[in-house]
Chains A and B, each alone.
Chain A
């Protein structure tokens, strides 16, 4: 079974500071990893995803994440945040069951609320 843990429920930072939101997953097989963002009073939007290839993935709005297989982590980073980055961020994991697999399960973490203060 797959699971995902977001280590921080809330992360407050000041504007223009760097930020890292942590995500660890549990799976014994190959995984796909995602970060979704939820702005206030909106649905979730895809920020970035890792399927294969380069372990450093770049997403929208200047965010990037690094897949680390040995540490089973997929931390999200941004070198300089803006007020508009205030939102809840969700890490999600799915398990690759092969090209003919029937897996439709995407498991979300509990979310990290990023608050950017002036």
Chain B
């Protein structure tokens, strides 16, 4: 089944403790992206990747890191999480450009930073 898989589904952590949220897709998609969803603010893009070893900042990249060493994986890294990073995070992928193609979304990761 074609899907985008994120783990974990729920995560509670403390300020400053490094964490990684994993994302994997099985559709051989070139494009992958991370979004955060906050009430009243909708979806905001954090980082995206056009292909292996090619990444770029979205609208809210501060405090986050990404890497794309393999086509199928696009982990999101929070080196030193802070409470303002408490949010619902989504990974998404598309075959090439999301600008004219369907984006496939993961089920989300609810992160709480205490």
Interface hits, B67-114 → A, CB 8 Å: 90, 92, 97-100, 102-103, 105-108
Count contacts on B: residues with CB < 8 A to the other chain: 24
B98 and A49 form a contact (CB under 8 A): no
Does B43 belong to the interface (CB within 8 Å)?
A: yes
A110 contact set on B, CB distance < 8 A: 40-42
Binding site for A on B (CB under 8 A): 4, 31, 35, 40-45, 48, 50, 56, 90, 92, 97-100, 102-103, 105-108
Binding site for B on A (CB under 8 A): 9, 32, 36, 41-46, 49, 51, 90, 94-96, 103-106, 108-111
> In the assembly, what is the distance between CA of A43 and CA of B105, in Å?
5
Q: Sorted from nearest, which 7 A-B pairs have the closest CB atoms?
A: A43-B105, A94-B99, A110-B42, A108-B43, A44-B105, A106-B98, A46-B102
B48 and A104 form a contact (CB under 8 A): yes
> In the assembly, what is the distance between CA of A42 and CA of B9, in Å?
11
